[in-house]
């Protein structure tokens, strides 16, 4: 009797995870790769879920068995793979895209980004800035480091377009980003560090600064009152953390960084709703640059442009020494 009560509870939690228009029997059949009739027997309590099936369902639908049956504060999370090579990085980009495929790439999906750094989605295509970010990531994540110049890395590393899927997903969804005055700092400091180390030529260093500026130019042009797809918020006090929340009418997923590129991913309803409430509160305490006056918007972007020009001048001075 107790087992059936647990099974009923599990089915109720799965029902909450799927769209109202989707059949619970079909969802169970797909998750367990069993027939429609076999799934129906489990839904009608004529058959019991095995331990293996219970674990498989919890993993598939992002459910915490601890929280479900013991009322604990545990949350079930998935973890992205560790990155130590260019091969690992390519797989990471591919699997990150797959983590988003349960959401449609359209304006019914909203993505919130707490931008401690320039959002990952802008630096994962095949441009020079994207190649440089890969070079930085591998230097910092590889156990032995790269110990080669950026130019050598470029010559030996083939262009990888797998990050383009993530880039395109981001470009097609409704985005609400929160930035502050330090969001671009780490990228500029990385350019400066490798320039001073003699691992990045001055011409490429200056070109990278120009590409950061071009990225900001493009974002400034998107900051228009009528742009419902892209909204940029400026928060002077909030300490940003690169958290990402993806949401549609039926579900939410939260991506929490635990290393430079490593993320814990959870679809736990309570946790995601708490984070959603937190975002809504922070947005109210931020300045939406899309609808801000011309002065406020120009002050934000001009400060960023001046900072980029300062770093570019420092790189130029290194070349003159």
Number of domains in the chain: 2
One domain for residues 63 and 112 = no
Range(s) of the domain holding residue 285: 79-320
One domain for residues 44 and 110 = no
One domain for residues 64 and 84 = no
* Cβ atoms of residues 43 and 37 within 8 Å: no
More reliable by pLDDT, 5 or 163: 163
Average of pLDDT values for 52-81? 77
**Above pLDDT 70, what percent of the chain?**
95
Look up the CATH number of the domain holding residue 58.
Answer: 1.10.260.40
Residue 98: predicted pLDDT? 87
71 pLDDT more than 60: no
One domain for residues 148 and 210 = yes
3-state secondary structure of 290: coil
68 pLDDT more than 80: no
Distance (Å, whole) CA 15 – CA 46: 18
Listed residues 44, 71, 98: the one ending a domain: 71
One domain for residues 202 and 310 = yes
Percent helix, strand, coil in the chain, to 5, is: 55, 10, 35
Listed residues 52, 71, 90: the one ending a domain: 71
3-state secondary structure of 80: coil
Nearest to 261 by CA among 188, 182, 166, 185: 166
The one-character DSSP state at 247 is E
pLDDT range class, residue 72, cuts 50, 70, 90: low
Q: Which distant-in-sequence residues (6+ apart) come within 8 Å of 154 by Cβ?
A: 131
3-state secondary structure of 147: coil
Compute the mean pLDDT over every residue in the chain, rounded to the nearest whole number. 89
pTM of the model: 0.80
Average of pLDDT values for 283-302? 95
Which helix (H) or strand (E) segment holds residue 233: the answer is strand 230-234
Residue 5: predicted pLDDT? 76
* Cβ atoms of residues 260 and 141 within 8 Å: yes
One domain for residues 133 and 37 = no
Q: In terms of C-beta density within 10 A (0-12 exposed, 13-18 middle, 19 or more buried), how is residue 210 classed? A: middle
Q: What does residue 230 show for φ and ψ, rounded to 5 degrees?
A: -120, 125
pLDDT digits (tens, 9 = 90+) for 164-185: 889 999 999 999 999 999 999 9
């Amino acid at each position: 009797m107790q087992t059936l009560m647990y099974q009923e509870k599990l089915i109720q939690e799965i029902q909450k995870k799927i769209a109202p228009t989707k059949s619970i029997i079909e969802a169970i059949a797909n998750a367990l790769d069993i027939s429609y009739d076999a799934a129906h027997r489990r839904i009608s309590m004529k058959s019991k879920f095995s331990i293996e099936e219970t674990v498989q369902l919890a993993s598939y639908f992002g459910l915490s068995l601890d929280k479900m049956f013991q009322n604990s504060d545990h949350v079930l999370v998935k973890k992205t793979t560790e990155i130590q090579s260019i091969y690992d990085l390519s797989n990471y980009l591919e699997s990150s895209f797959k983590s988003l495929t349960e959401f449609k790439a359209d304006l019914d999906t909203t993505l919130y980004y707490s931008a401690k750094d320039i959002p990952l989605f802008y630096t994962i295509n095949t441009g020079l800035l994207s190649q440089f970010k890969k070079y930085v990531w591998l230097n910092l994540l590889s156990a032995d480091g790269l110990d080669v110049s950026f130019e050598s890395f470029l010559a030996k590393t083939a262009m990888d377009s797998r990050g383009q899927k993530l880039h395109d997903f981001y470009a097609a969804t409704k985005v609400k980003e929160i930035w502050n005055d330090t969001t671009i700092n780490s990228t500029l400091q990385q350019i400066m560090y490798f320039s001073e180390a003699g691992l990045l030529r001055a011409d490429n260093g200056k070109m990278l600064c120009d590409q950061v500026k071009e990225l900001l130019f493009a974002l400034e042009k998107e900051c228009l009152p009528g742009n419902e797809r892209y909204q940029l918020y400026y928060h002077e006090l909030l300490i940003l953390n690169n958290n990402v929340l993806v949401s549609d009418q039926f579900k939410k997923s939260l991506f929490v960084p635990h290393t430079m590129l490593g993320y814990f991913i959870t679809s736990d309803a309570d946790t995601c709703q708490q984070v959603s409430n937190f975002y809504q509160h922070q947005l109210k305490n931020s300045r939406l640059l899309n609808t801000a006056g011309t002065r406020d918007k120009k002050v934000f972007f001009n400060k960023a442009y001046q900072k980029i020009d300062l770093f570019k001048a420092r790189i130029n001075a290194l070349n003159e020494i």
